[in-house]
């Protein structure tokens, strides 16, 4: 058994109540997390074109070799399966979650969990080391996520909290169980249903909470007392110290509270306070924290407790989400209006009362809640507004119905999402310059030529092509189209970068599982030339834990294999080139209307400067602070602010052709070819596609 | 310096202690991970000599508690050991350590520890007791440990809430060992 792995994956069939073991070794080449999840899904889910709600759906919960170790950002986990959220097809999808479950699962002796079938009544799964029991969820079903988890803690440990050793056979622990849990959202099959761990840590995108609900699975609890073998402990500590010296963070005071992190991490990106508000909140919840609406913080807590996707709810509760609020203000939605808003009090939009009422209506599928719990794309379609609102950008969803997270001028974001199954939400990839949270103001000043030179050395194995980072676009008058096609955003160079981006993420971020707040580490403010820890970071930690001698390029190739496995699944679900498009508003000036990162100090709650909304029936207003991008013009590199960027249809089509060609896919259909799949060791995948009549044609 | 508690056989005070600040701990468990790793070569929360207990559903400060071996002035664990495996290491700053070769697995030291959770850790794989040695014996770490060296948990803590001190903390209650840390206290 390779160090860093426990050697076994728990397989549970809820229909039969059966449990079995899969040897990790047969899937180890995929790394862990998403890679192993996709490979197992491929093998076990016979009909891949099923609905996410189908009992035959196979879902995987997979940590990676990092989990259970002190690798910073290393204790995340990947959840996969056919989702429920994507529009118009419920694509096979993924969602990532941090916290403590991944490490505890490893300590219990498991590299992952596979769930098949559907229980006949609500259940939860109780894992204590190698003892696995499918338990009756009576008393848990219907509970908010905090109440349900507290009750599971009591049932597992026989007490409310901690303070003594808990004997477990001949073993013992002072720890409590780590729990994944759905709320009323997932139970009632909401496409916005999340899986929460604690209160603020969640797996939100993809609607996998609704999948758990459809399987009658309320929660999984795990408590472990075992060991994780480390191949080279000395190297692991040395690498941790090296990384900490370069990108570690100094402690900062939290009034009446503490900074908190996921297991094993040296960063401190969350907080916990005496009030319990915003418990372990992170990322998108920050928008609620600074939202000018009166109860943004409280609303974010309410959404967590009910187990609803806060990113999607931004479209129904945040000032910069606005869709339903704009419909309300337009007189289209409201009491007695064409879209009846009862029982949700839209006149109290932004209040805690509104948030609670919204959650209850969505969970109970009551009134407008029945529409909203299907997600805004399906709701808008039902209201007969989808086409016009996507065209205007009023409904600000560029790809597969997912809410806007990062996008233009970071063009690799919408392009990656378009060829994926969801909005990718890979933070540091928002753009090489925008996305880094490592002292970004300094990098804003980095000369463009120096920037692209540094970045182009890191994208192994496609090094030394600075045009991968060129953001030339056609400009509003179309004057720069030639450059955009040759070296800019529609060029083969950008296609190459997106391919690297996809392969890197699939292996290092989603399978080995480095937190995407840390990796890729483009910049290090303390290093000469500001050159960050990528590519050294990823392989040094991986090799110290596993004892392997993986090169960075080998990891990228593994990512390509995982990416092609996913691609084949989507093809079997109906994917074709002609489906891979962006919403119409992306091709108009509305395409740039996005809240881009703002490097100014964050405002105090309630103090954010909201830009004037001079287009009440249009997309949300642009916030200031868009970072300049590197642009190659007249033989030299320059930094240019591109907050007004939008796309050209012919340009995007050319980009797609470049991209499919680079991936070795049929440029007519976007389907992988046999040559490409066999080169990756995926002959059985090629055979299946061929049998389905969906194998790409070689040139 | 020796312990002069009335009615107790005098044992020399330890010359090294770990202090913690539970209220600022970020709950990452890195200290537990490295504690078990530098001693055992693998990571195991149940074998860590320092224990961070956390319930992420609770509000601050009831959500996290750190407990560590107190290197007691009156070490009942030492006195309970029938084989002399748990002893005061006079060659290494009088710290209370276990000679695993002599441990017979009777668990009397665990029973004798008056604190909850007990600071002596049971290793079911070897059938022997483990305790904090301030990293005196760490086969999987390159640093010199012990009371005159470094401690892995102190070194790894990203919140700097585990500190080493030579000054004996107040023995009554937890306040001497779990407190708001400052340079003055640590010195």
- pLDDT value of residue A501: 94
pLDDT value, residue A477: 93
User: How close is the nearest chain B Cα to the Cα of A270, in Å?
Assistant: 9
Token digits of residue A687: 């055979």
Q: Taking residues A623-630, report their average pLDDT.
A: 58
Confirm or reject contact between B124 and chain A (CB < 8 A): yes
Taking CA atoms, what residue in B is nearest to A173? B46
B94: left (phi over 0), alpha (psi -120 to 50) or beta: left
Q: Which of B28, B44, B63 sits opposite A227 (nearest CB)?
A: B44
Mean pLDDT is lowest, of A250-259, A370-379, A485-494, for A250-259
pLDDT of residue A249: 84
Give the strand pairing for B51-54 and A166-168.
Answer: unpaired
Residues of A with CB below 8 A from B155's CB? 241
- pLDDT exceeding 70 applies to what percent of chain A? 88
Q: Name B172's Cβ contacts closer than 8 Å, sequence gap at least 6.
A: none
The nearest CA of chain B is from the CA of A517 a distance in Å of 16
Shortest alpha-carbon distance between residue A116 and chain B (Å): 29
Q: What is the mean pLDDT of residues A432-454?
A: 63
What's the CA gap between A6 and A10, in Å, rounded?
11
CA–CA dist A311, A323 (Å, integer): 13
Give dist(CA B105, CA B98) in Å, integer.
11
* DSSP secondary structure string for all residues of A452-492: HHHHHHHSTTS-S-GGGG------TTSTTHHHHHHTSTTSH
B residues 97..116 contacting A (CB < 8 A): 116
Q: Is B163 near chain A, with CB under 8 Å?
A: no
**CB environment A99-122: b (16+ within 10 A), e (fewer):** bbbbbbbbbbbbbbbbbbbbbeeb
- Considering only CB atoms, which chain B residues are within 8 Å of A249? 158
pLDDT digits (tens, 9 = 90+) for A54-73: 999 999 999 999 999 999 99
B25, A251 contact by CB (below 8 A): no
Q: What is the mean pLDDT of residues A119-127?
A: 98
Q: Nearest C-alpha of chain B: how many angstroms from A548?
A: 17
Residue tagged 């834990």 (tokens): A545
Residue A658 has pLDDT above 90, yes or no: yes
Q: Which of A103, A228, A268 sits opposite B42 (nearest CB)?
A: A228
How close B159 comes to chain A (CA, Å)?
A: 5
- Return d(Cα A271, Cα B53) in angstroms, integer: 17
Instruction: Output the pLDDT for position A608.
Output: 33
Closest residue on chain B to A225 (Cα): B46
What are the pLDDT digits (tens) for A425-435?
886 544 343 34
Query: Which has the higher per-residue pLDDT, B182 or B57?
Result: B57
What is the secondary structure of A73-101 as a DSSP string?
T---EEEEEE-S-SSSS--EEEEEE-SSH
Chain A residues whose beta carbon lies within 8 Å of the beta carbon of residue B27:
258, 260-261
For tokens 């994926």, the residue is A420
Which of B33, B44, B55 minimises the CB distance to A226?
B44
Question: Are A164 and B117 inside 8 Å of each other by CB?
Answer: yes
Buried/exposed code over A59-78 (b: 16+ C-beta within 10 A; e: otherwise):
bbbbbbbbbbbbbbbbbbbb
pLDDT tens by residue, B8-40: 568 999 999 999 999 999 999 999 999 999 999
A451 contacts A443 by C-beta, under 8 angstroms: yes
- The per-residue pLDDT for A525 is 66
A/B interface, count of CB pairs below 8 Å: 163
Q: Which helix H or strand E contains A260, and what residues bound it?
A: strand A257-260
Chain A residue numbers with beta carbons less than 8 Å from the beta carbon of B24 are 251, 258-259
Between A620 and A418, the higher pLDDT residue: A418
Question: Within an 8 Å CB–CB cutoff, is residue A616 touching chain B?
Answer: no
pLDDT: is A638 or A287 the higher one? A638
pLDDT of residue A436: 41
- In chain B, DSSP finds a helix count (H) and a strand count (E) of 5, 9
**B182 near A CB under 8 A:** no
The shortest CB-CB distance from B160 to any of A236, A251, A276 is to A251
Cα gap A359→A184, rounded to integer Å: 9
Read off the pTM.
0.94
Cβ under 8 Å to B: A residues 50-109: 68-70, 99-100, 103, 107
**Tens-place pLDDT, residues A576-624:** 999 999 999 999 987 765 443 333 333 333 333 333 444 455 544 443 3
In chain A, residues 451-490 whose CB comes closer than 8 Å to chain B: none
> Computed over its alpha carbons, how large is the radius of gyration of chain B?
16
pLDDT at A1: 87
Q: pLDDT for A331-354, tens place per residue?
A: 999 999 999 999 999 888 878 898
Distance from CA of A22 to the nearest CA of B (A): 23
Q: How confident is the model at residue A627 (pLDDT cuts 50, 70, 90)?
A: low
B157 → chain A, closest CA residue: A266
Candidates B22, B32, B60: best to mutate against A (most CBs of A within 10 A) is B60
Q: Which long-range contacts link A476-485 to residues 24+ away (Cβ below 8 Å)?
A: A476/A589, A476/A644, A478/A648, A481/A648, A481/A651, A483/A632, A483/A633, A484/A648, A484/A651, A485/A651, A485/A654
How far is the alpha carbon of B174 from chain A, nearest alpha carbon, in Å? 13
Tens digit of pLDDT for each residue in A143-176? Answer: 999 999 999 999 999 998 889 999 999 999 999 9
Quote the CA–CA distance of A162 and B94 in Å, as a whole number. 31
What the block records as the tokens of A307 is 């187990």
pLDDT of residue A288: 58
Q: Does B180 touch chain A (CB under 8 A)?
A: no
Give the pLDDT confidence score for residue A44 in this predicted structure: 98
CB contact under 8 A, A174 and B33: no
A518 at B interface, C-beta within 8 A = no
**What is the C-alpha separation between B131 and A631, in angstroms, rounded?**
60
Per-residue pLDDT averaged across B116-123, rounded?
98
Nearest to A313 by CA among A342, A337, A344: A344
Average pLDDT (A296-317) is: 83
User: Cα dist. A375→A205, A382, A400 in Å?
Assistant: 12, 11, 11
Using CB atoms and an 8 Å cut-off, which of residues 200-219 of chain A contact chain B? 201
Q: What is the least distance, in Å, from the CA of B1 to any CA of chain A? A: 33
Domains of chain B (ranges; CATH) run 17-186 (3.30.70.20)
Q: Which residues of B touch A268 (CB under 8 A)?
A: 26, 158-159
> In this predicted structure, what is the pLDDT of residue A439?
38
What is the token pair recorded at B85? Answer: 């495996």
Phi-psi category of A305—alpha, beta or left, where left has phi over 0 and alpha has psi -120 to 50? alpha
For residue A286, the model assigns a pLDDT of 59
* Residue among A171, A248, A267 whose CB faces B124 most closely: A171
Chain A contact present for B44, CB below 8 A:
yes
Q: What is the CATH number of domain A8-223?
A: 3.60.9.10
Sign of CA dihedral A322, A327, A330, A334: negative
Please indicate if any CB of chain B lies within 8 Å of the CB of A599. no
pLDDT at site A321? 52
The ipTM of this complex is: 0.96
Yes or no, beta carbons of A266 and B24 under 8 Å apart: no
Total Cβ atoms within 10 A of residue A19? 13
pLDDT of residue A626: 54
| Structure-model confidence comparison of residues A575 and A292, the more confident one | A575
B30 → closest Cβ in A70, A174, A175: A70
Q: Is the pLDDT of residue A558 over 60?
A: yes
Percent of chain B with pLDDT over 90: 91
Q: Is A176 on the interface with B (CB under 8 A)?
A: yes
Chain A stretch 268-307, residues whose beta carbon is closer than 8 A to a beta carbon of chain B: 268, 272-276, 279-280
Separation between Cα atoms, residue A637 and residue A453, nearest integer Å: 10
Question: For residue A59, what is the enclosing H or E element?
Answer: strand A59-63
| Higher pLDDT pick, B113 / A447 | B113
Q: What is the pLDDT of residue A323?
A: 85
Return the minimum-mean-pLDDT range out of A3-7, A109-113, A215-219, A302-306.
A302-306
Is any Cβ of chain A less than 8 angstroms from the Cβ of B123? no
DSSP string, A335-383: TTSSEE-TTS-GGGTTSHHHHHHHHHHHHTT-THHHHHTT-HHHHHHHT
Mutate to test the interface with A, among B22, B23, B28 (most CBs of A within 10 A): B28
Is it the case that residue A454 has pLDDT exceeding 50? Answer: yes
CA dihedral A396, A399, A405, A410 (to 10 degrees): -110
- CA B145 to CA B35: how far, in whole Å? 12
Range list for CATH 3.60.9.10 in chain A: 8-223
Cis peptide before A412 (omega within 30 of 0): no
Encoded tokens for B84: 């002399």
Greater pLDDT, A597 or A191: A191
Report the residue of chain B nearest A163, measured CA to CA: B117
Collect all residues of chain B within an 8 Å Cβ-Cβ radius of residue A173: 45-46
Percent of chain A with pLDDT over 90: 72
Neighbouring C-beta atoms of residue B114, cutoff 10 Å: 12
Chain mean pLDDT for chain A: 89
| Confidence class for position A282, pLDDT limits 50, 70, 90 | confident
A635 touching chain B per CB within 8 A = no
Separation between Cα atoms, residue A101 and residue B99, nearest integer Å: 35
- Spell out which residues of chain A touch residue B130, defining contact as CB-CB under 8 Å: none
Q: Chain A: give the shortest CA distance to residue B165, in Å.
A: 21
């Amino acid at each position: 058994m390779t160090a860093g792995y426990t050697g076994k994956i728990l397989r549970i069939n809820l229909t039969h109540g059966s449990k079995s073991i899969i040897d990790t070794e047969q899937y180890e080449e995929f790394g862990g997390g998403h890679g192993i999840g996709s490979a197992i899904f491929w093998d076990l889910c016979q009909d891949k074109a099923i609905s996410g709600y189908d009992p035959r759906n196979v879902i995987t919960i997979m940590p990676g070799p990092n989990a259970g170790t002190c690798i910073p950002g290393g204790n995340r986990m990947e959840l996969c399966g056919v989702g429920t959220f994507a529009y118009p097809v419920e694509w096979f999808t993924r969602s990532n979650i941090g916290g403590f479950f991944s490490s505890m699962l490893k300590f219990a002796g498991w590299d992952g969990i596979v769930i098949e079938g559907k229980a006949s009544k609500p259940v939860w799964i109780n894992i204590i080391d190698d003892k696995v029991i499918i338990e009756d969820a009576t008393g848990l079903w219907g509970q908010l996520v905090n109440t349900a988890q507290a009750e599971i803690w009591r049932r597992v440990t026989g007490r409310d909290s901690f303070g003594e050793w808990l004997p477990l056979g001949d073993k013992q622990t002072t720890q409590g169980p780590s729990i994944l849990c759905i709320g009323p959202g997932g139970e009632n099959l909401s496409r916005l249903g999340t899986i929460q761990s604690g209160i603020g840590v969640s797996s939100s995108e993809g609607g996998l909470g609704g999948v758990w609900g459809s399987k009658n699975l309320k929660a999984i609890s795990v408590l472990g007392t075992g060991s994780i073998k480390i191949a080279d402990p000395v190297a692991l500590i040395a690498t941790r110290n090296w990384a900490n010296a370069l990108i570690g963070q100094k402690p900062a005071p939290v009034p009446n509270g503490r900074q908190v992190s996921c297991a094993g991490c040296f960063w401190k990106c969350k907080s916990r306070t005496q009030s319990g508000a915003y418990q372990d909140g992170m990322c998108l919840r920050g928008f609620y924290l600074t939202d000018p609406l009166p109860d943004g913080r409280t609303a974010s807590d309410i959404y967590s407790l009910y187990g609803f996707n806060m990113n999607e709810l931004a479209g129904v509760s945040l000032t910069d989400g606005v869709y339903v609020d704009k419909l309300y203000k337009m007189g289209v939605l409201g009491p007695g209006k064409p879209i009846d808003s009862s029982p949700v009090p839209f006149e109290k939009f932004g209040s805690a009362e509104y948030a609670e009422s919204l959650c209850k209506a969505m969970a109970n599928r009551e009134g407008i809640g029945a529409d909203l719990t299907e997600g805004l794309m399906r709701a808008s379609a039902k209201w007969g507004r989808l086409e016009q609102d996507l065209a205007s950008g009023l409904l600000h969803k560029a790809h597969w119905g997912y809410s806007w997270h990062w996008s233009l001028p970071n063009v690799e974001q919408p392009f990656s999402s378009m060829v994926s199954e969801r909005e990718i939400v890979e933070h540091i990839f928002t753009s090489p310059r925008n996305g880094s949270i490592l002292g970004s103001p300094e990098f804003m000043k980095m000369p463009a030529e120096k920037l692209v030179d540094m970045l182009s050395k890191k994208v192994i194995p496609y090094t030394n092509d600075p045009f991968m980072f060129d953001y030339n676009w056609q400009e509003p008058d179309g004057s720069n189209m030639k450059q955009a096609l040759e070296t800019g955003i529609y060029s083969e160079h950008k296609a190459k970068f997106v391919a690297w981006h996809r392969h890197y993420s699939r292996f290092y971020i989603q399978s080995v599982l480095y937190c995407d707040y840390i990796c890729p580490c483009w910049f290090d403010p303390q290093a000469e030339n500001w050159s960050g820890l990528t590519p050294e970071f990823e392989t040094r930690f991986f090799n110290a834990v596993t004892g392997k001698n993986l090169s960075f390029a080998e990891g990228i190739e593994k990512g390509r294999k995982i990416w092609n496995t996913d691609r084949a699944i989507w093809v079997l679900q109906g994917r074709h080139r002609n489906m891979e498009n962006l919403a119409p508003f992306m091709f108009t000036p509305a395409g740039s209307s996005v809240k881009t990162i703002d490097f100014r100090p964050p405002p105090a709650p309630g103090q954010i400067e909201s830009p004037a909304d001079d287009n009440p029936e249009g997309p949300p207003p642009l916030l200031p602070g868009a970072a300049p991008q590197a642009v190659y013009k007249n033989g030299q590199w320059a930094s240019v602010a591109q907050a007004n960027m939008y796309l050209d249809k012919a340009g995007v089509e050319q980009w797609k052709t470049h991209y499919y060609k680079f991936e070795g896919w049929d440029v007519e259909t976007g389907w992988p070819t046999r040559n490409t799949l066999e080169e990756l060791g995926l002959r059985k995948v090629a055979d299946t596609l061929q049998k389905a009549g969906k194998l790409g044609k070689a040139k | 310096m020796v312990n002069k508690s009335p009615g107790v056989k005098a044992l020399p005070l330890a010359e090294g202690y770990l202090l913690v600040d539970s209220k600022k701990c970020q709950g990452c468990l890195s200290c537990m991970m490295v504690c078990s790793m530098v001693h055992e070569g693998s990571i195991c929360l149940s074998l860590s000599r320092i224990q961070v207990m956390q319930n992420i559903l609770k509000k601050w400060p009831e959500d996290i508690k750190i407990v560590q071996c107190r290197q007691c002035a009156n070490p009942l664990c030492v006195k309970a050991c029938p084989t002399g495996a748990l002893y005061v290491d006079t060659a290494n700053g009088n710290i209370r350590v276990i000679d695993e070769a002599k441990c017979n697995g009777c668990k009397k030291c665990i029973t004798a520890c008056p604190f909850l959770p007990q600071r002596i850790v049971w290793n079911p794989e070897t059938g022997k007791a483990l305790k904090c040695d301030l990293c005196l014996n760490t086969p999987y770490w390159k640093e010199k440990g012990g009371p005159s060296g470094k401690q892995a948990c102190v070194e790894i803590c990203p919140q700097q809430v585990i500190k080493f001190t030579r000054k004996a903390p107040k023995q009554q209650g937890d306040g001497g060992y779990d407190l708001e840390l400052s340079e003055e206290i640590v010195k």
